[in-house]
Structure 1
């Protein structure tokens, strides 16, 4: 029975991968000086955010159906690398880094610095996922989870429609998020708290309430609200790490 039902979470995982691939295809269609470019960038980012929902529900479905398998776990890592490693790197390359080139050996734009910056994200995501597969803690994450990192990049084009962000700040954010993925900072697992305190009915009520809140906030401002929630999660791990480090130094 366990193997027969495994197709359900695996299908959600493949949906995650498909959305990540679609995000790259959408971003690849954008040309320079396209007046509608920001719409396509936003669509690409939205597909990454939507994929994060699939990524969350596949694990929930596997546990609810008692259909967790090694195949499903490996498939999830491959999908996460595509959607939350490669796709965000490609999106930011097309949106920000594509023009970052330097002249070399008297050749114009020979060295693509932007490609190297963009490649940092899939590199860090791959290392983080490999480390997770080898050794993982059931109660916390080591390093920023790749879906959270991918969503941070996915929100970026929608957020910049409201408040433009200079290129140097975009690079700093991108590099910082990538480094946090491979850091040893501990982050809590929200799904552990959800499983312990929420039934499916309560979870549905919370999701409905969040959707209504987003509707009241408005389509233009909700990306920044979501950024606020995510950054609180990101910095909570950093603050906890600093407190732990200071306590260790005192001892």
Structure 2
């Protein structure tokens, strides 16, 4: 469904991505992990053409979208949940969701809104509240729901665990698991390697703008180098002893 080939992005003289290639098949849940500054957000923003690229191609659903603008990419069935959630804080929960579906027919928006309320009951309960009054976890649910209002074939997720408590992170990932089991294709980028690889089918490891490892998520989760680099201080201490 998604095929990224030899993607390179630079910020002035600084290379952020260098010949990055990834693919995601229909129905797959793929995670891309890496430390802060590895280029994860840059990759998603370049796929969506939010930022430009100096080299490489992006194909989505069999069509080259390398030169398509962001609204066109969204209309073709790709949506992104941005890092930091970025809900419209002064708008209500319902208005945020409706904004997500502004390109869809009215009947579809109504049906999708009901689906979002069924999937995220807290959003229905708080639909008249302003989004800025929600907790971090609730805002993440809202950001996911807003993206799903576009009826996407492929959902891009940027750091869904950022700033959330462990129990809330698990809840968010369980929702993603439900979406994936329902057939939605997901490409997720994360620093939280444990959660990302636990729920994904395949994974990539991005380091300093390059893909250095790829494979089944379970294999990457068990890889000693991945554990040493990405699974936290406690493992590093054990590794170094």
Range into which the TM-score falls when normalised by the shorter chain: under 0.3
Q: Indicate the structure whose relative CO is greater, using CA pairs within 8 Å and at least 6 residues apart.
A: 2
Q: Which has the higher helix share?
A: 1
Instruction: State which structure, 1 or 2, has the greater radius of gyration over its C-alpha atoms.
Output: 1
Higher strand share: 2
